[in-house]
Amino acid sequence: MLERFMGPRRMYQIRRLVRHGKLTALCLVMTIVVLRGTIGAGKFGTPEQDFDNLRVHFYASRNHHRPNRVLEEVRSESSSEESVALTSEAGSNSYGTFDISKILVDEGEEEKRDPSKPYTLGPKISEWDEQRAGWLRKNPDFPSFIGPNKPRVLLVTGSSPKPCENPVGDHYLLKAIKNKIDYCRLHGIEVFYNMALLDAEMAGFWAKLPLIRKLLLSHPEVEFLWWMDSDAMFTDMAFELPWERYKDVNLVMHGWNEMVYNQKNWIGLNTGSFLLRNTQWALDLLDTLAPMGPKGKIREEAGKLLTRELKDRPVFEADDQSAMVYILATQRDKWGDKVYLESEYYLHGYWGILVDRYEEMIENYHPGLGDHRWPLVTHFVGCKPCGKFGDYPVERCLKQMDRAFNFGDNQILQMYGFSHKSLASRKVKRVRNETGNPLEVKDELGLLHPAFKAARASSS
Amino acid sequence: MGLDSNFSPQKRTSSLPTTVAKGRHSSGRGGPPRGRQIQKTFNNIKITILCGFVTILVLRGTIGVNLSSSESDAVNQNLIEETNRILAEIRSDSDPTDPAQPERDLFLNETYALGPRISSWDSDRKIWLENNPEFPNFVSRNRPRVLLLSGSPPNPCDNAIGDHYLLKAIKNKIDYCRLHGIEIVYNMAHLDRELAGYWAKLPMIRRLMLSHPEVEWIWWMDSDALFTDMVFEIPFEKYKEYNMVIHGYPDLFYDQKSWIALNTGSFLLRNCQWTLDLLDTWAPMGPKGPIREEAGKVVTKFLNGRPDFEADDQSALIYLLLTQKEKWMDKVHIENSYYLHGFWTGLVDTYEDLMAKYQPGYGDQRWPFVTHFVGCKPCGSYADYPVERCLRSMERAFNFADNQVLNLYGFGHRGLLSPKIKRKRNETVSPLEYVDKFDIRRSSSDGTSRLSR
């Protein structure tokens, strides 16, 4: 019908146009499909995502939304005694097939902070020293010094309340806390193992700040708070910290003055193991460090500032150690006189240079030195046994952690006449026979009844 | 025919849509409309099929059948295999550095001894304490010095979740002991090859008693027992005349001779000669092998309700205390006025009820002192109960206790199954008033129990 209006030639041209149009549209669609397949179209999804969505849709009963675990569970052989699995109606009796996420409940809402106001750890307290002194006077049963030169110390460490992503991570955390319990029992130090995230904004390395502040304020009887990372182990059980050396300082960290103040090197000190005195000064320092911590943009921006200002720092979000270096280096006159950077013994000892020398140390030296000859602390920086990926090969990290643990444990076991068969072995052997006169036996290191544990006549 | 010859160049070159158009253009003027229509349709179909074919090829090329062909996936695969190998090695009991030594189990006619006989321990210890006044057998506020002993095997558990609950259990014990001035020894070494398994506590208890004369009481606690009352303190003055305190039921013990009349998951032993003698009498039923098997048969016959398996320390203790009543029972206190050991199944579901009605400090069914997860065996592969129930209950018990610790700091768990916490008290500029009110240590020190508040 249109032909009558426009004539056959016109009609023919229109039809040609339509054909060309169809072909163009077809080619366009094909191009988009090919490009989507090769370089992806971002928001609109790639064919892989389509495939995944289809898979999820059709196989929704399997747990595809569970995050990919690189390290899978090692299926154990069932023990010979319990080879019959008792499966009842209510569920299976086998731990091998259980998924912990089924029982942990994530309820409630996070506290929402007003984003327009700057972050604070809490309301500003300004006469903490007086408050604390008053409290100590009223409570003579809880003195802050438990010996003539011995302050009351609380060792604080912690880990996540959820199981580790690495199947053997929890085992190494258990060994590490046993190691710390042993040292602290010998030295009259109390232990606080934290598994609570007090402030969701200060997660990760920054979680220690609200925790430390809370503990200082809730335990006025504690003179020194000793923070120790969960991946650090005591390897010298006989070394007692030189408390008199620190009587005029408020913060003791392992590090070197030149590296912090002159070079502003981000590893000039280490915040994996440090002592903080319970004073107003400490509260002020925590308040100064905290603003770089809140998760998100603030931490990212702070990270960029720290990478710019500090030497050799890689690019990543702000961490408490870099923040400490920065604050000390830029505000030395305010904080420097109360900070002691200890390098005479390994208040923190980087594991890489220590672990291969243990046998050499056993042959040539003895516990009680605390330094390069017999390190107080071996700190497995970068190993991250609880996480999926560390900065070092898994095998080296775990094997060396076993060795460091046994190295320290030998000093405990020798009190009772035992020792590990070798630094790599979990088995122990007797090194001192049982006797009918146990009280006459003195252990080699004198750790059974050491002088630093001796109580005052009326102490608690 | 003519039509065919006209259209054959079309067919040959019709792989690309553009040539079709050209072809059609060149022969557009002639031919009947019907034939042309058929050709048109045919061409369209060809184009459609071709495009469909190309699309499928392209899609197959991108998402394809082989998903792990990308480089990062291959690296992941290697990492998984490597780590699995390491984990298997760590988990295995084999020790590459240990030369295989021929070790045999004791024969039935050999007697096992924990160590050389000691017979003057009470007087030796007294002299030592007099000579060492800086290590008294009491701590502040005239409480006796107590040492809590617990432990677990030196190798990783069969499943990762087992180690996680061992970690939570030791944290729980650390918290209680810090609040009550008790020292902890966590043993991860097999001191005695023969007394392995449940019996491993005996040589360790003896060793600690002899090495630490300043310790008045040794408190053994299983690794699957959790403190659920952080305020309750053991009434040691009540036990002045006793040397052993163990949870149990006298009627089950004396009348029924039940194998679960007493529970050796949590008990106290005084550091004295009596205890050394008890351990020396108890241990011989323990050595692995024929002795333990035989002893198992003896106790099964003697005790009520005991299944047939090798001798365990609990049955052996009940057997020896019953058969030698006159010698031992005057110094043994069977305690059931509070849950020195609380069997978990009857307790864990009541926590919310208890929180609504009572407060910490009772130690009994109103607020159990210890919740003991007998039969759950989280470090092994199989439990005697459904795993979900065990783990759920252990998490609840742990959080129930943790709430009492966090109370001082103004926090509490969001729910008994939640690892996250919520604030219960706002931060303040005078935190010391809360310390006075909520610190468990202080409330038990000034004599006023929390219950009177």
Q: Report the residue from A20, A111, A436 with minimal CB separation from B423.
A: A111
- What pLDDT is attached to residue A70? 33
pTM: 0.81
Chain B residues close to A79, C-beta within 8 Å = 380-381
Cβ(B439)–Cβ(A141) under 8 Å?
Answer: no
What mean pLDDT comes out for the span A363-367? Answer: 96
Instruction: Write the ipTM.
Output: 0.81
Chain B residues close to A164, C-beta within 8 Å = 160, 164
Tell me which of A94-98, A159-163, A173-177, A371-375 is least confident.
A94-98
Give per-residue pLDDT as tens, A217-243.
Answer: 999 999 999 999 999 999 999 999 999
Instruction: Inform me whether the pLDDT recorded for A44 exceeds 70.
Output: no
Residues 6+ apart with CB under 8 A from A318: A292, A293, A299, A300, A302, A303, A305, A306
pLDDT tens for chain B, 453 residues: list them: 444 444 444 444 444 444 444 444 444 455 557 888 899 999 899 989 998 988 888 777 666 544 444 555 666 667 667 767 777 777 765 555 555 555 677 777 778 888 999 999 999 999 999 999 999 999 877 799 999 999 999 999 999 999 999 999 999 999 999 999 999 999 999 888 888 888 999 999 999 999 999 999 999 999 999 999 999 999 999 999 999 999 999 999 999 999 999 999 999 999 999 999 999 999 999 999 999 999 999 999 999 999 999 999 999 999 999 999 999 999 999 999 999 999 999 999 999 999 999 999 999 999 999 999 999 999 998 899 999 999 999 999 999 999 999 999 999 999 999 999 999 999 999 999 999 889 888 765 544 444 433
Per the CB < 8 Å rule, is A71 touching B170? Answer: no
- Per-residue confidence band for A80, with pLDDT thresholds at 50, 70 and 90: very low
**Three-state DSSP class for A47?**
helix
Angle (CA) A271 A205 A123, round 5°: 95
Give per-residue pLDDT as tens, A246-305.
Answer: 999 999 999 999 999 999 999 999 999 999 999 999 999 999 999 999 999 999 999 999
SS (H, E, C) B334-348: EECCCCCCCEHHHCH
- A93 → chain B, closest CA residue: B386
Chain A residues close to B21, C-beta within 8 Å = 16, 19-20, 23
Per the CB < 8 Å rule, is A173 touching B167? Answer: yes
> Rounded CA gap, A189 and A182, in Å?
10
Rounded to a whole number of angstroms, the distance from the CA of A395 to the nearest CA of chain B is: 6
Give per-residue pLDDT as tens, A108-157.
Answer: 777 777 777 888 999 999 999 999 999 999 999 899 999 888 999 999 99
- What pLDDT is attached to residue A268? 95
Per the CB < 8 Å rule, is A196 touching B411? Answer: yes
- What pLDDT is attached to residue B123? 95
What mean pLDDT comes out for the span A195-224? Answer: 94
DSSP string, B33-59: HHHHHHHHHHHHHHHHHHHHHHHHHHH
Per the CB < 8 Å rule, is B382 touching A95? Answer: yes
A392 touches B: beta carbon within 8 Å: no
Rounded to a whole number of angstroms, the distance from the CA of A287 to the nearest CA of chain B is: 14
Rounded to a whole number of angstroms, the distance from the CA of A167 to the nearest CA of chain B is: 5
Cβ(A216)–Cβ(A191) under 8 Å?
Answer: no
**Which has more confidence, A430 or B66?**
A430
Per the CB < 8 Å rule, is A416 touching B207? Answer: yes
CA A67 to mean position of chain CA atoms? 21
Rounded to a whole number of angstroms, the distance from the CA of B167 to the nearest CA of chain A is: 5
- Per-residue confidence band for A321, with pLDDT thresholds at 50, 70 and 90: very high
A181 touches B: beta carbon within 8 Å: yes
- What pLDDT is attached to residue A456? 56
- A183 → chain B, closest CA residue: B185
- B145 → chain A, closest CA residue: A460
Helices then strands, counting H and E runs in chain A, come out as 13, 12
A85 touches B: beta carbon within 8 Å: yes
Q: Report the residue from B160, B381, B442 with minimal CB separation from A164.
A: B160
Question: Taking CB atoms and an 8 Å cut-off, how many pairs form between chains A and B?
Answer: 316
**Three-state DSSP class for A57?**
helix
